[in-house]
Amino acid sequence: MEKFVFFGGKGGVGKTTMSAAYAVKCADAGLDTLVVSTDPAHSTSDVFDQQLGDEPQAVEGRDGLWAMEIDPDEEVEHHLMETKRALGDQVSAALVNEIDRQIEMAHQTPGAYEAALFDRFVDVMRSSGDFDRVVFDTSPTGGTLRLLGLPEFLEGWIDRLRRKREQSIDLYEKAAIGNTEPRRVMDGDPILARLRERKQFFEYAGRMLREHTAFFLVVNPDELSVRETRRAAEGLADRGLAVRGLAVNRLTPSPDDDEHGRGARYLRDRVATERAHLRTLREEFDQPVVAEIETRVEEVRGDFLTEVAAELDIETAPPADPPTPD
Amino acid sequence: MSEDGDHGGDEPTLSDRIDGFLAALREWAAGLYHGLVTHPAYEKIEKAAEDAEDTFMLACFPDAFGIPSPVSYYTAELLPYLESEFEAWERRMWDRGSMLERKGEQYHF
């Protein structure tokens, strides 16, 4: 199994439960495991009954298990401050205001939040050398797909920017043939250096996602969830990221045969519908169903996590070739 | 002898005068050549460089013109290093009535 494992799916299907349970399973198998929540509505803290923060924190009462919750807002703020500091170092006081406004604006565009989240989770991947496995509990499908689609898109974009920049510097150098200093020179151009750095960052992210990451989709046995799962699986495949398996959560338990009350009839109908959806998932999807978890009356936490973990048919063996940090 | 000496002091010899004339001519020719040929050529190349830079800047900061960009978060970190470019770019962009006007600037009638 790869070093990085992602759990995705529609909102409210139980991604957090599944990823926490899988992390527990890995930790119990003797792997140093980190669970990372990238969902803006964090609930990992609730599952482990412990307040988590932006740095990996040992989960109390469980050996080899750490957890953290990424806060994109904080990352946006941090990035804003970094950029402004560079601005103070570089730019004359007269121009700071003008450029400052532009920087503020860039941090309020709709993409900023996603970009920050992306930066953060690539950071986590980069600095995860101490862990054998990192489990990502992602935000609902739409956001995740956009997020995972970023590296390729951004690599292309950065490449085009770099070419434009080189072209203009090249022309400036040509215009200065003779006696004058060119207005810009290729050597040591800070913009090109930055763009190159960014490109490496995206390349790293893309490589990790394609070669060292396994994706699982959590699905509930209902029409909407099945449909969304189909779209998500296709969307990920389009980006060259294959889904490894489907974890079915919230299956309704069937009543005993001798029960014939209203509740039993309801349950029987419900179970029949779910069976149909389960069949669809088994027959029409290329991915195997790796877990069938029944609905539980209590919240899944504590010992229940271990119970759910036992029902997950996902291997825990450490990766044969762990990714090398660059 | 004395007449020659006097003349030698006041008036340059013929070869000196020719040299002086040639020097002036060379300066004029260089000036004319620079004005007519090299300067417009360099100016054109420099304008092309500015145009390429404008495209770069527009790709980096379309939101300066109200076009939302998913990458402005990343390009914002370039801004501190683009100080002079940024201002010149904004000025050029607001100034640029039409492509024709911009291309026409290099002809000095």
Is A172–B74 a contact, with Cβ atoms under 8 angstroms apart? no
**What range does the domain containing B93 cover?**
41-109
Q: Please, are residues A65 and A31 in contact by the beta-carbon 8 Å criterion?
A: no
User: If you average pLDDT over residues A24-42, what whole number do you get?
Assistant: 89
Residue B45 placed within a domain: yes
**Dihedral of the CA atoms B95, B98, B103, B109 (nearest 10)?**
-80
Q: What is the DSSP letter of A248?
A: E
In the predicted model, is pLDDT for residue B8 greater than 60?
Answer: no
In a domain, B10, yes or no: no
Residue B80 to residue A86, Cβ atoms within 8 A:
yes
Work out the percent of chain A whose per-residue pLDDT is above 70.
Answer: 97
Structural contact between residues A220 and A249, judged by C-beta atoms closer than 8 angstroms: yes
For range A12-37, the mean pLDDT: 92
In A62-115, DSSP assigns E strands to 65-69
Mean pLDDT within B46-55: 85
For the four alpha carbons of A108, A112, A117 and A123, in that order, the dihedral sign comes to negative
Name every chain A residue with its beta carbon within 8 A of the beta carbon of B83: 90-92, 95, 99
> Would the CB atoms of A109 and B68 count as touching at under 8 Å?
yes
Average pLDDT, chain A: 87
Give CA separation, A173 vs A132, A165, A184, B45, B82, in Å.
Answer: 50, 12, 7, 9, 18
- Per-residue pLDDT reduced to its tens digit, A42-90: 788 888 888 998 899 999 989 999 999 988 888 889 999 988 888 887 7
Exposure string of B16-29, with b = 16+ CB inside 10 Å and e = fewer, is eeeeeeeeeeeeee
Query: Residue A131 above 80 pLDDT?
Result: yes
Report pLDDT for A141.
Answer: 66
pLDDT of residue A184: 80
The whole-number pLDDT of residue A326 equals 61
Say yes or no: A94 contacts chain B, CB-CB below 8 A: no
How do residues B51-106 score in pLDDT, each as one tens digit?
888 888 888 888 777 777 777 888 888 888 887 788 888 777 776 666 566 666 66
Is pLDDT of B5 > 60? no
DSSP bridge pairs for A219: A248
In A, which residues are within 8 Å of B37 by CB distance?
none
A35 vs A175, residue with greater confidence = A35
pLDDT, position B86: 82
Q: Of the candidates A194, A246, A322, which has an alpha carbon nearest to the alpha carbon of residue A13?
A: A246
Most confident of A94-98, A202-206, A305-309: A202-206
Q: Which residues of B touch A89 (CB under 8 A)?
A: 80
Q: What is the pTM of this model?
A: 0.80
Whole-number pLDDT of residue A276: 94
Complex ipTM, two decimals? Answer: 0.75
Identify whether B4 is part of a domain: no
In a domain, B109, yes or no: yes
Evaluate whether residue B21 is within a structural domain.
no
* A192 in reach of chain B (CB within 8 A): no
Give which of A249, A147, A157 is closest to A205, Cα–Cα: A147
Residue among A280, A170, A181 nearest A224 (CA): A280
Q: Cβ A87–B63 below 8 Å, yes or no?
A: no
**Chain B environment of A109 (Cβ under 8 Å):** 63, 68-70, 72-73
> What is the rounded end-to-end Cα distance, in angstroms, of chain B?
57
Q: Give the whole-angstrom CA distance, residue A50 versus residue A58.
A: 10
What per-residue confidence (pLDDT) applies to B67?
78
Total number of domains in chain B: 1
Name which of A87, A110, A198 is nearest B68 (Cβ-Cβ): A110
Question: What is the average pLDDT across A255-268?
Answer: 90
The pair of structure tokens assigned to A239 is 């980006």
- Residue B68 falls inside a structural domain: yes
Please indicate, yes or no, if residue B14 is contained in any of the structural domains: no
Nearest CB to B87; choose among A83, A95, A107 = A95
Instruction: Convert the pLDDT of each residue in B11-40 to its tens digit.
Output: 788 899 999 999 999 999 888 887 777 777
A218 against A140, higher pLDDT = A218
Query: pLDDT of A138-168, one tens digit each?
Result: 876 667 777 777 788 888 888 988 998 998 8
Give the mutation candidate from A108, A191, A195 for the B interface (greatest B CB count, under 10 A): A191
State the best of B71, B82, B93 to mutate against chain A, taking most chain A CBs within 10 Å.
Answer: B71
Q: What is the pairing mode between strands A65-69 and A57-58?
A: antiparallel
| pLDDT at residue B102, as a whole number | 63
**8 Å CB contact between A126 and A25:** no
Residue B7's pLDDT is what?
53
pLDDT band at A107 (very low <50, low <70, confident <90, very high): confident
Q: Which pLDDT score, from 0 to 100, does residue B2 have?
A: 47
Interchain contact B30–A (C-beta under 8 A):
no
- Given a cut of 70, is residue A2 above it in pLDDT? yes
Nearest CB among A83, A114, A174 relative to B79 is that of: A83
- With bands split at pLDDT 50, 70 and 90, how would you rate the model's confidence at B1? very low
Tell whether B35 is covered by a domain.
Answer: no
Chain B's closest residue to A116, CA to CA, is B73
Is A186 an 8 Å CB contact of chain B?
Answer: no
